[in-house]
């Protein structure tokens, strides 16, 4: 269960935080006792040294109270936040690692689980700590009150919790009554004001009653003046831990419900597919495809081929990429893998054969090594080789594969992020890899070096690569180039041959 897992993972900070908050609550409960002792010492006319020690004791309690509260709340809050972050990361890891793509859950359900449910589940560390600390405060208060006077202590210990919990029980009734009178805004506000006023009045009556009884006991000599101060202060203090425990129990129910929803999501994405995916047979072929600015495109992607696709307009390049990543369907013609239309192949099956690396770079993970992880496990040597091929050896040399990455790799330059993303795509090693403008943020020298390394690494490989780009270094290394002109027509040839066309030269020469 996620609740047990959260408490087990955060056991050490939760334990330290709980002990510190127990110290805070205990000292807060003992402050009235110390003040009462100081008053009794002063009234009794004891030695000045004893009074100084009593006052010093009050100051020491306040020091422990403040320190315990600061350390406890900081430790517990940090543990709750870290646990919520851990659950979010685990949820996202499962969702991104899913290869089936046929889930019935809507994106909003997954987002709610990864945000609000993860946060509420992580709150269990804070809730348990507060219940323990508030319980300690109640125990100390009970012991002190019962030692002062059994009858008075029992009365306060019974009346205060019943009053606080009773007011909490009335809150749903107030909510329903206000909701029923929303059309009469003034009346609704009046109901709320009446409730708050009644609650304050009832609490005040109990405190005044307790103080009155304690004064009577003091006058009769049953308790001392210092004990009178302790009783009144304790009666006021008790409401806080009682209300805190009541709220914590409610929040615990919320955390448990969120944990159940989150666990169900994790189980769903951990479950194996009903039919394990197998790589589709055949190869990628486009026949007579027309869509948007593209007309009658024919392209066969043979195993081992390195094919360049250049477009006169960005819209044509985006349309071509959309045909392969599934975001766009042909208006006419077919895009097939073997004899099967690409749109009819299940997403998990299609991903085994075809990977489209988008132009926009998104790096995930806390280190350089984690950002290179794909569904195909890779050794450190393979990751280093892919980074070198992608021209990211400088990133590797700076701090190694354990180099920390900030959110989305923001501590890297734009060119470095592009090259790391290219290395990740090479590590995925699909049968057909589609790259969309993979080197737009690098300088000309690096671009040429990466293009040559990509060509060299491609030699002898059975995998095909399609590069959608206007980069001359990349296009010049391709076996052939398909040019999509401004009219939507296609022209195929070597880069050097196509340069004789003015429109092609205008599209690729910088």
Question: 143 or 357, which is more confident?
Answer: 357
Task: Enumerate the CATH 1.20.1560.10 domain ranges in the chain, comma separated.
Answer: 2-90+108-270
User: Which residues contact residue 176 at a Cβ distance below 8 angstroms, ignoring those fewer than 6 apart?
Assistant: none
Q: 92-101, 213-222, 237-246: which range is least confident on average? A: 92-101
Question: 470 or 6, which is more confident?
Answer: 470
**How distant, in Å, are the alpha carbons of 355, 403, 415, 420, 466 from that of 398?**
29, 8, 15, 14, 31
* Size of the chain, expressed as the number of residues it contains: 510
Is 270 within 8 Å of 94 (Cβ atoms)? yes
Average pLDDT over residues 82-93: 86
pLDDT digits (tens, 9 = 90+) for 364-393: 888 899 899 887 788 999 999 999 999 998
pLDDT of residue 266: 80
pLDDT surpasses 90 at 294: yes
Which stretches of 220-336 are DSSP H helices? Answer: 225-270, 314-325
Tell the burial category of 242 from Cβ atoms under 10 Å away from its Cβ (0-12, 13-18, 19+): buried
Average pLDDT over residues 47-61: 79
Average pLDDT over residues 67-87: 91
Which stretches of 45-149 are DSSP H helices? Answer: 48-97, 107-112, 118-122, 124-148
Q: Is 365 left (phi over 0), alpha (psi -120 to 50) or beta?
A: left
In 3D, which of 28, 27, 24, 53 has the Cα closest to residue 40? 53
β-pairing verdict for 306-311 and 480-484? parallel
**How distant, in Å, are the alpha carbons of 393, 414, 458, 478, 498 from that of 451?**
15, 18, 11, 9, 19
Distance CA 90, CA 155 (A): 50
pLDDT surpasses 50 at 270: yes
Q: 198-207, 232-241, 374-383: which range is least confident on average? A: 198-207
Fold of 2-90+108-270: ABC transporter transmembrane region fold (1.20.1560)
The pLDDT confidence band at residue 288, using thresholds 50, 70 and 90, is very high
pLDDT of residue 460: 64
Distance CA 492, CA 53 (A): 96
Distance CA 228, CA 35 (A): 11
Distance CA 292, CA 484 (A): 12
Distance CA 475, CA 181 (A): 72
Question: 390 or 272, which is more confident?
Answer: 390
Is 288 within 8 Å of 333 (Cβ atoms)? yes
pLDDT of residue 284: 94
Question: 173 or 53, which is more confident?
Answer: 53
What Rg value do the Cα atoms of the chain yield, rounded?
Answer: 35
Distance CA 378, CA 475 (A): 29
pLDDT of residue 195: 44
Is the pTM higher than 0.85? The answer reads no
Question: Can you say how many angstroms the Cα of residue 165 is from the centroid of all Cα atoms in its chain?
Answer: 35
Distance CA 301, CA 285 (A): 6
pLDDT surpasses 60 at 420: yes
Mean per-residue pLDDT of the chain: 82
What three-state secondary structure class fits 355?
strand
DSSP letters, 407-422, are GGGTTS-HHHHHHHHH
Distance CA 420, CA 394 (A): 11
Angle between helices 414-428 and 380-389 (to 10 degrees): 120
Residue percentage of the chain with pLDDT more than 90: 33
Task: Enumerate the CATH 3.40.50.300 domain ranges in the chain, comma separated.
Answer: 284-508
Average pLDDT over residues 473-478: 96
List the beta strands (DSSP E) in 306-463: 306-311, 332-337, 340-341, 354-357, 432-436
For domain 284-508, which CATH number applies: 3.40.50.150, 3.40.50.11440, 3.40.50.300, 3.60.70.12? 3.40.50.300
DSSP letter at 344 equals G
Question: 341 or 250, which is more confident?
Answer: 341
pLDDT surpasses 60 at 416: yes
What three-state secondary structure class fits 186?
helix
Is 291 within 8 Å of 331 (Cβ atoms)? yes
Residue percentage of the chain with pLDDT more than 70: 83
Within 10 angstroms of residue 312's Cβ, the number of other Cβ atoms is 21
User: Which residues contact residue 170 at a Cβ distance below 8 angstroms, ignoring those fewer than 6 apart?
Assistant: 195
Is 357 within 8 Å of 436 (Cβ atoms)? yes
Distance CA 246, CA 354 (A): 55
The Cα diameter of the chain in Å comes to: 114
The pLDDT confidence band at residue 439, using thresholds 50, 70 and 90, is very high
Is 405 within 8 Å of 371 (Cβ atoms)? yes
Angle between helices 2-9 and 48-97 (to 10 degrees): 130
Burial code (b: 16+ CB inside 10 Å, e: under 16) for 381-400 equals: ebbbbbbebbbbeebbeeee
pLDDT of residue 75: 92
pLDDT surpasses 50 at 215: yes
Burial code (b: 16+ CB inside 10 Å, e: under 16) for 10-31 equals: beebbebbbbbbbbbbbbbbbb
């Amino acid at each position: 269960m996620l609740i047990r897992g959260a408490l087990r993972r955060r056991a050490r900070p939760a334990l330290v935080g709980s002990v510190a908050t127990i110290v805070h609550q205990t000292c807060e409960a003992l402050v009235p006792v110390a003040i009462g002792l100081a008053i009794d010492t002063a009234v009794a006319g004891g030695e000045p040294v004893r009074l100084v020690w009593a006052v010093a004791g009050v100051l020491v309690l306040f020091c422990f109270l403040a320190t315990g509260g600061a350390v406890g709340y900081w430790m517990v809050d940090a543990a709750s936040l870290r646990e919520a972050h851990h659950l979010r990361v685990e949820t996202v890891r499962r969702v991104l690692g899913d290869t089936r793509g046929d889930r019935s859950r809507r994106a909003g359900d997954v987002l709610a689980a990864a945000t609000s449910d993860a946060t509420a589940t992580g709150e269990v560390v804070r809730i348990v700590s507060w219940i323990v600390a508030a319980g300690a405060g109640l125990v100390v208060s009970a012991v002190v009150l019962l030692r002062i006077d059994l009858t008075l202590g029992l009365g306060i210990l019974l009346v205060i919790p019943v009053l606080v919990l009773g007011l909490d029980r009335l809150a749903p009734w107030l909510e329903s009554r206000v909701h029923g009178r929303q059309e009469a805004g003034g009346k609704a506000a009046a109901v709320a004001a009446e409730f708050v006023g009644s609650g304050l009045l009832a609490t005040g009556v109990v405190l005044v009653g307790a103080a009155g009884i304690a004064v009577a006991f003091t006058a009769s000599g049953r308790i001392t003046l210092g004990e009178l101060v302790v009783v009144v202060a304790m009666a006021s203090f008790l409401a806080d831990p009682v209300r805190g425990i009541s709220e914590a129990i409610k929040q615990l129910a919320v955390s448990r419900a969120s944990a159940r929803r989150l666990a169900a999501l994790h189980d769903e994405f951990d479950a194996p597919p009903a039919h394990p995916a197998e790589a589709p047979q055949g190869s990628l072929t486009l026949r007579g495809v027309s869509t948007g600015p593209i007309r009658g495109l024919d392209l066969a992607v043979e195993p081992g081929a390195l094919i360049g696709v250049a477009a006169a307009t960005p819209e044509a390049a985006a349309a071509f990429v959309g045909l392969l990543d599934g975001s766009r369907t042909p208006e006419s013609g077919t895009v097939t893998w073997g004899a099967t239309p690409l749109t009819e192949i299940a997403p998990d099956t299609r991903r085994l054969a075809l990977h489209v690396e988008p132009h926009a770079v998104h790096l995930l993970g806390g280190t350089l090594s984690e950002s290179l992880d794909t569904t195909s496990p890779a050794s450190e040597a393979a990751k280093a080789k892919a980074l070198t091929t992608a021209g990211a050896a400088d990133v590797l040399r700076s701090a190694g594969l354990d180099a920390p990455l900030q959110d989305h790799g923001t501590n890297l330059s734009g060119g470095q992020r592009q090259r790391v993303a290219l290395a990740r795509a090479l590590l995925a090693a699909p049968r057909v890899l589609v790259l969309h403008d993979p080197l737009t943020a690098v300088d000309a020298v690096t671009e040429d070096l990466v293009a040559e390394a990509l060509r060299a690494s491609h030699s002898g490989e059975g995998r095909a690569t399609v590069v959608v780009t206007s980069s001359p270094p990349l296009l010049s290394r391709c076996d052939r180039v398909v040019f999509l002109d401004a009219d939507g027509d296609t022209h195929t040839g070597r880069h050097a041959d196509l340069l004789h066309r003015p429109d092609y030269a205008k599209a690729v020469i910088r």
